[in-house]
Structure 1
Amino acid sequence: MDLNAVRMFVSVVQSGSLSAAAARLEIPLPTLSRRVRELERELRVQLLERSARGTHLTDAGTRLYEFASRGVEALGEAERAVLSDQVLLRGRLRLSLPPAFEPWWELLGEFQKRYPGVHLQIFTTERRVDLIEDGVDVALRVGAVEHESMVARHLLNYRHLLVASPELIERLGAPEVPDDLHRFPCAIWSQGANARTAWRLGEQSLRPDALLASNDYAHLRSRALAGEVVTELPPFLARAGLDDGRLVPVLADFPLPEQRINLLYPSHRHPSAIVRAYLDFCREYLNVLALL
């Protein structure tokens, strides 16, 4: 049964005539009349008796109206409830973030202060999640975006930093070119157990003989702060150590490549008001992202 046609039929009964219902629904009278006739053909009964004095319900039409009017009213209440939730931003937002991405923790706190009716569910992982399969509304992705079924909203670029403790640099001497790092103990970020990561420093590529490989930047930072290694850190994880002198930049004239930050959501899914508000809030909050 065509629900739109049923709603039109209910409107005809409530309005008292086809012409009044057409004006109420803001559709052409011939269109409304045709849809009601199609509904009658589909049900194989006559629902309305038409005369010069207007329309009247048949017995079958009365029975349909008794049930359909309650359903149409319930659908209207449901529609109003959903629209109200969207306007007031009440509901759940499911996000995927990389581990230890600290600037986003503050951003999310501020987002919930503005929209207290939004409940956040955070999925933290360094793997590339399947948004549909994992039930994620928006994923924060660092690096290139290759999935054609995703919409990527670019936010900003930043660079990781090569850092070490002053004590390590004093003991081994400051490196002047990337090849000098071969005499330093190095720790690298590595996603796979057998992966060997190369550092792209300026125009040069260096594959250090790493004494430690980890996919946890917080672990790498702790070893650098302990004076044990040279390592690569996101700037927000290095900043406190750089500010208080427990870390110093290494080979600052040979910068690591830029990283892109994108927010991803499925291209075939119309973003809800909550998702749109989150995307807009992230862009608005770029002054906080300056911490990167």
Structure 2
Amino acid sequence: MDFNAVRMFVSVAQTGSLSAAAERLDIPLATLSRRIRELEQQLKVQLLERSVRGTKLTDSGIRLYEHASRGIEALVEGELAVLNDQTRLKGRLRLSLPPSFEPWWEVLAAFQRQYPQVQVSVHTGARRIDLIEDGVDVALRVGMISHETMVARHLITYRHVLVASPALIEQRGVPVSVEALHDYPCGVFTQGRQGVWQLGDKAITPEAILSTNDYAHLRSRALAGDLVTELPPFLAATAIHEGTLQAVLPDHPLPEQQINLLYPSHRHPSAIVRAYLAFAQGYVEYLANVSSTNR
């Protein structure tokens, strides 16, 4: 069996298309297609089902991939061990991030400083993309995960915080109850549904003067003294520390949120994906330790 052809087949299985695999391996698409056909002829089975939307593994292809990917990844790991220099990792990493997720910008910058030959492509949007069809290696998702075809690596759990500017509080007074928020101008984060705040054991549907799916917009209006709103802690922490925003009803906390990194379960993660997952986990744990030490 031709080892190079098997390696090309594994790359097609991992990327989900012939063109993406050709780009990853830096070889002409025609060459890749020819080598895969020759491998199928040698084995006398069809390994891939080709269509305009990409490629899917046949049953024979799945069986070959399950065995071949482990061997190839072991060889890659052996090569990395011999080189003993992870900065030699080279290739493209395709990621998906939520909009305005500023803390992750520094994570990606630090990752590329450690792995300077890894090119990072980031898709940012509110729409939940299909990792396979959109060619994404790893997606960062906020919230509970229930996708059976994805592997979720939990990073951190946190809570949003309700905030307002000192000017608005001085003008309207400090809200003394959840129900009192009906008397305040509010801004809510929403993606088509009516915004609801679950504050402790009480839920409220505020009369929103602004509804948007952009937390940066809500922060701007809160800083201007226009409204009360909820923000992720990374968007509120600096302003609270500087006194330009203050927490509202801190004894009625918003629900916990989870951050997870997702990647397809049927793909054995590449060396670059494994390096990214490990780096992100370590970076988040480091920041959490620093934060707890500085309290």
Matching of residue 132 in structure 1 with residue 132 in structure 2: yes
Task: Give, in angstroms, the shift of residue 291 of structure 1.
Answer: 6.9
2:274 and 2:152 map into 1 onto residues whose CA distance is 13
Is 2:151–2:262's contact at 8 Å kept on the other side of the alignment?
Answer: yes
In our comparison, the structure showing a higher alpha carbon Rg is 1
2:274 and 2:291 map into 1 onto residues whose CA distance is 24
**What is the aligned partner in structure 2 of residue 240 from structure 1?**
238
* AA in 1 matched with 2:287: V
Runs of 4+ residues deviating >6 angstroms? none
**What is the aligned partner in structure 2 of residue 20 from structure 1?**
none
Residue correspondence of structure 1 range 29-178 to structure 2 within 5 A: 83=76, 87=80, 88-178=88-178
SS in 2 for 1:145: coil
SS in 1 for 2:95: strand
Question: Could you report, residue by residue, the CA deviation over 1:210-238 in whole angstroms, capped at 9, with x for unpaired residues?
Answer: 01000111100010000010001011111
2:273 and 2:130 map into 1 onto residues whose CA distance is 17
SS in 2 for 1:136: coil
Matching of residue 288 in structure 1 with residue 287 in structure 2: yes
Alignment length (residue pairs): 215
Is 2:196–2:206's contact at 8 Å kept on the other side of the alignment?
Answer: yes
SS in 1 for 2:208: coil
TM-score normalised by structure 2 residue count: 0.69
Is 1:90–1:117's contact at 8 Å kept on the other side of the alignment?
Answer: yes
Structure 2 gaps of 5+ residues are 4-41, 43-71, 81-87
Matching of residue 203 in structure 1 with residue 216 in structure 2: no
2:233 and 2:132 map into 1 onto residues whose CA distance is 31
TM-score normalised by structure 1 residue count: 0.70
Is 1:85–1:91's contact at 8 Å kept on the other side of the alignment?
Answer: no
2:98 and 2:291 map into 1 onto residues whose CA distance is 16
Question: Could you report, residue by residue, the CA deviation over 1:29-82 in whole angstroms, capped at 9, with x for unpaired residues?
Answer: xxxxxxxxxxxxx9xxxxxxxxxxxxxxxxxxxxxxxxxxxxxxxxxxxx8xx9
1:233 and 1:131 map into 2 onto residues whose CA distance is 27
Task: Give, in angstroms, the shift of residue 86 of structure 1.
Answer: 7.5
Question: Could you report, residue by residue, the CA deviation over 1:121-172 in whole angstroms, capped at 9, with x for unpaired residues?
Answer: 0001122111001110000000011110000000110110100001111111
* Cα gap change, 1:217 to 1:86, in 2 (>3 Å): farther
Task: Give, in angstroms, the shift of residue 281 of structure 1.
Answer: 0.4
* AA in 2 matched with 1:273: A
SS in 1 for 2:158: strand
* AA in 2 matched with 1:105: W
**What is the aligned partner in structure 1 of residue 65 from structure 2?**
none
Task: Give, in angstroms, the shift of residue 83 of structure 1.
Answer: 3.9
Matching of residue 212 in structure 1 with residue 210 in structure 2: yes
- For residue 262 of structure 1, the aligned residue among 260, 263, 288 is 260
* AA in 2 matched with 1:131: L
* Cα gap change, 1:251 to 1:95, in 2 (>3 Å): same
SS in 2 for 1:275: helix
SS in 2 for 1:167: helix
RMSD: 2.3
2:153 and 2:280 map into 1 onto residues whose CA distance is 10
* AA in 2 matched with 1:184: Y
* Cα gap change, 1:116 to 1:198, in 2 (>3 Å): same
Is 1:242–1:249's contact at 8 Å kept on the other side of the alignment?
Answer: yes
* Cα gap change, 1:291 to 1:99, in 2 (>3 Å): farther
* AA in 2 matched with 1:251: L
1:117 and 1:139 map into 2 onto residues whose CA distance is 21
SS in 2 for 1:120: strand
Is 1:159–1:235's contact at 8 Å kept on the other side of the alignment?
Answer: yes
Task: Give, in angstroms, the shift of residue 288 of structure 1.
Answer: 3.0
* Cα gap change, 1:85 to 1:227, in 2 (>3 Å): farther
1:245 and 1:128 map into 2 onto residues whose CA distance is 35
Structure 1 gaps of 5+ residues are 5-41, 43-78
2:259 and 2:276 map into 1 onto residues whose CA distance is 15
**What is the aligned partner in structure 1 of residue 181 from structure 2?**
181
**What is the aligned partner in structure 2 of residue 39 from structure 1?**
none
